[in-house]
């Protein structure tokens, strides 16, 4: 049974970055690091997919921050309106049955 060799993450990243070099073919990169071409291709593809995830995640985080900011503004506005509504009710009084204001003599 053939034992599978494990590689360090920083080595995989180095190989993946080297494989993106336009002046060097995958075969040349594989030969340089004494690896199989398929392994270099897999690491390159995994690296590119991870990069997409980072970029997409960053965009998602920026959008989430904007939404949270808007949410906080809306919460503050609701609090202000509730306070204003309570003040109006306390100072002018309302008839809860028909919404008419009562007059005080």
Work out the percent of the chain whose per-residue pLDDT is above 70. 88
12's CB contacts (< 8 A; 6+ apart) are: 43, 46, 47
pLDDT in tens, 21-58: 989 999 999 999 999 999 999 999 999 999 988 888 87
Closest C-alpha among 95, 96, 85 to residue 104 = 95
User: Has residue 101 got a pLDDT over 50?
Assistant: yes
- The pLDDT score that the predictor gives to residue 105 is 45
Q: Looking at the whole model, is its pTM more than 0.85?
A: no
Residue 62 confidence (pLDDT) above 70: yes
Do residues 69 and 39 lie in contact, with contact meaning Cβ atoms separated by under 8 Å? no
pLDDT at 100 over 80: no
């Amino acid at each position: 049974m053939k034992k599978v060799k494990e590689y360090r993450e920083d080595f995989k990243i180095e190989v993946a970055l080297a494989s993106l070099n336009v002046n060097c073919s995958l075969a040349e990169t594989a030969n340089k690091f004494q690896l199989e071409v398929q392994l270099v291709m897999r690491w390159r593809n995994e690296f590119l997919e991870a990069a997409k995830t980072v970029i997409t995640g960053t965009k998602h985080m920026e959008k989430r921050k904007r939404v949270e900011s808007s949410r906080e503004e809306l919460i503050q506005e609701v609090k202000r309106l509730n306070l204003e509504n309570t003040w109006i009710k306390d100072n002018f009084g309302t008839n809860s049955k028909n919404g008419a204001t009562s007059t005080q003599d």
